[in-house]
Amino acid sequence: MSEHTTDVLVVGSGIAGCAAALGAAREGASVTLVTKTTRPEGASTWWAQGGVAISRDDPEGFKRDILDASSGTANEDAVDVLVENANDVVRNVLVETLDVDFDTGDDAEFDYSREAAHDQRRILHVDASTGKHVHVPFLNYLDAHDRVTIRDDTAALDLVTHEGRVHGAVVEDGDEGEPIFAGATVLATGGIGDLYPRTTNPDGSTGDGIAMAALAGADVADMEYVQFHPTAFDDEAPSAPDSEDTADQSFLLSEAVRGEGALLRNADGERFMPDYHADAELAPRDVVARTVAREREATGEVLLDTSPLDFAAEFPDLLEKCEDRGIDWETGIPVAPAEHFCCGGVAVDDRGNASLDRLYAVGECARTGVHGANRLASTSLLEGLVWGLRAGEDAAGFDPTVVEAPDLLNRDPELPDNFAREKFVRLRRVMDEYVGLERTPDGLGRAHGVLRRLKGEVDAYVRTRTSRSLYELRNASITALLVARAAAENDDSVGCHYLADGEPAQARADD
């Protein structure tokens, strides 16, 4: 085995991983950033539409909206860190360092947009495809940085730990693999969309960082709070065009479209949101998502009616997506909820420190406390940026130590045909049915049992084999179990953890 050392190892290449790399490099550390993707599109950041909320001149108002969206469950200290740093970090990194060309109005001032549960316009954006306009310059900037090495197509398999401290990770790129020893390790592996049949996340969102951290013994929190976006394109709706092409069928219709006045109507043409919440289409995301799901179930489909706005002029990139797929957007775009964001994750403090020494987590795989039970729109890029930078700066101060690492790579990589695919189908079915938008104690108990058995089957293979797809399946099965267990143990129906009835299901005490 070759020995690779670096001051800071960052796992993941979305905005949080990039910000961590930047923060550490600015402190003079050598940084190795590994990502299992080969294209920017492999990170959720690239797909982000809405934008980056900032405090402008009203941090208190921004804080209030975050707390309200979370039904008062967000951690106030964490929210203070976010809102107090928002303006400076966005200006310093996105505007001055990366030169992101946020949309401006005729007066050359920023054109702030509004989304659900924001009481004012405070979202910086580039059309409705902000993510890629931030992500690509960030990767290019780091690529040119002499203290940063980016290794793509390189998956982290397990953390290297010794006497309670994390010393890096074992990574695999193709058939080759090696431990990378690091003074500090920052997990920035994104979300868990692969656990559900419909998601806005890119493929490969298998909760890798959360699973690796949990396996190493780090604390994980708030996993029951899985956020569903109310308006992803519904490719199964009666009015959706037939498509042979199964790739990229669903896509997000940004909340910014409702922020500009679009309405939700059921299959009978009725606008229903005012019957459910005073803020109607701009109610908190969990409320809109559940209501859309119910109306879709009851009437057959739900349509996003863009007639109150000039959709073509205001959202040219979404218009193009609709036209590419043959969607007749003028009669309404069929929409359905899709898994969008995991509010929980590796429990971290206000600088991204996890409960294990020299381990950090940032971005979607981290639980900072900012989101509580439900995340306010357009706060995820900001959270990734703020915590990524702070964690990177903090992680920069340690020398790497070479310790004994697990030798995972000299094992038989062959798996039975369709092994991972069949397990993923089972896992997603259970998560969709019992651990989705609405949960019941019975269903959670059942899901927990099925997922434990599934994890046992996967573990039996992991003991003797190593391959990226098997480890992704392992990570997904661990993460699914964490979600189901946290949900079963929480009898407080709040935010994204909505209990439809009855008493809480108890996870088995011996799990």
In angstroms, the CA 32 to CA 11 distance is 9
Taking CB under 6 A as the binding criterion, the range among 183-191, 360-368, 375-383, 432-440 that sits at the site for ligand SIN is: 375-383
Query: Does 377 help bind ligand SIN (rule: CB under 6 A)?
Result: yes
Binders of ligand SIN: how many residues, by CB under 6 A?
9
- Per-residue binding letters, 326-345, with ligand SIN (x by CB under 6 A): --------------x-----
Does residue number 205 form part of the binding site for ligand SIN (CB under 6 A)? Answer: no
Q: Give, for 251, the enclosing helix (H) or strand (E).
A: none
**Nearest CB to ligand SIN, comparing residues 49 and 475:** 49
Indicate the residue among 362 and 405 with the shorter CB distance to ligand SIN: 362
Which among 285, 375, 468, 485 is annotated as catalytic?
Answer: 285
* Nearest distance, CB of residue 289 and ligand SIN, angstroms: 11
Apex 237 CA angle, 235 and 239, nearest 5: 105
User: Shortest distance, CB of residue 259 to ligand SIN, whole angstroms?
Assistant: 9
Q: Identify which of residues 180 and 232 has a Cβ nearer to ligand SIN in the complex.
A: 232
Which of 151, 187, 376 has the alpha carbon at shortest distance from 284? 376
Rounded to an integer, what distance in angstroms lies between the CA atom of residue 309 and that of residue 313? Answer: 9
Smallest distance, ligand SIN to C-beta of residue 249, A: 18
CB of 510 to ligand SIN, least distance (A): 38
369 Ramachandran zone, left/alpha/beta (phi>0; psi -120 to 50): left
CB 170 within 8 A of CB 405: yes
Closer CB to ligand SIN, residue 377 or residue 478? 377
User: What residue type is assigned to position 306 of the chain?
Assistant: T
Nearest alpha-carbon partner for 329 in 301, 306, 302, 299: 306
Which is closer to ligand SIN, CB of 131 or CB of 352?
A: 131
Residue 181 CB, nearest distance to ligand SIN (Å)?
A: 36
DSSP three-state, residue 367: strand
Q: Which stretch binds ligand SIN (CB under 6 A): 35-43, 135-143, 363-371, 374-382?
A: 374-382
453 labelled catalytic:
no
Does the protein bind ligand SIN through residue 50 (CB under 6 A)? yes
Is 380 an interacting residue with respect to ligand SIN (CB under 6 A)? yes
CB of 252 to ligand SIN, least distance (A): 6
Q: Considering the rule CB under 6 A, would residue 378 count as an interface residue with ligand SIN?
A: yes
Which of 255, 295, 305, 314 binds ligand SIN (CB under 6 A)? It is 255
Which of 49, 85, 205, 250 is the binder for ligand SIN (CB under 6 A)?
49
- Nearest Cα neighbor of 486 from 471, 496, 501, 474 is 496
Would you call 474 helix, strand, or coil by DSSP? helix
When asked if residue 113 is in the footprint of ligand SIN (CB under 6 A), the reply is no
Cβ 92 to ligand SIN shortest distance, Å? 21
**Shortest-Cβ-distance residue relative to ligand SIN:** 50
Which CB atom, from 318 or from 359, has the smaller least distance to ligand SIN?
Answer: 318
Instruction: Please report whether residue 254 would count as binding ligand SIN according to CB under 6 A.
Output: yes
Q: What one-character-per-residue DSSP string does 187-250 give?
A: E-----GGGSSSBSSPTT---HHHHHHHHHT--EE-TT-EEEEEEEE-TTSTTSPP-S--TT--
User: For residues 306 and 380, which CB has a smaller minimum distance to ligand SIN in the complex?
Assistant: 380
Please choose, from the candidates 178, 182, 200, 181, the residue with its C-alpha nearest in 3D space to the C-alpha of residue 191. Answer: 200
Overall size of the chain counted in residues: 511
**CA within 13 Å, CB half, 421:** 3
User: What does the DSSP 8-state code read for residue 252?
Assistant: B
- Structure letter (DSSP) for residue 508: P
The nearer residue to ligand SIN, 29 or 280, going by C-beta atoms, is 280
| b/e sequence 47-73, b meaning 16+ C-beta within 10 Å | bbbbbbbbbbeebebbbebbbebbbeb
160 binds ligand SIN (CB under 6 A): no
The residue (of 270 and 320) whose beta carbon lies closer to ligand SIN is 320
Decide: helix, strand or coil at residue 504.
coil
Among 218, 256, 263, 293, binds ligand SIN (CB under 6 A): 256
Tell me how far apart the alpha carbons of residues 511 and 507 are, in angstroms, rounded to a whole number: 7
286 makes contact with ligand SIN (CB under 6 A): no
Least distance from ligand SIN to the Cβ atom of residue 150, Å: 26
H or E segment and range at residue 7: strand 4-11
Would you put residue 378 in left (φ > 0), alpha (ψ -120 to 50) or beta?
A: left
Which of these segments, 217-225, 372-380, 387-395, 463-471, binds ligand SIN (CB under 6 A)?
372-380
Instruction: Assess 451 for contact with ligand SIN (CB under 6 A).
Output: no
CB of 27 to ligand SIN, least distance (A): 29
Residues in a beta bridge with 4: 180
Interface with ligand SIN includes 93 (CB under 6 A)?
A: no
Dihedral pair phi/psi, residue 116, rounded to 5°: -55, 140
- Chain residues binding ligand SIN by CB under 6 A are 49-50, 254-256, 340, 377-378, 380
Residues with active-site annotation: 285
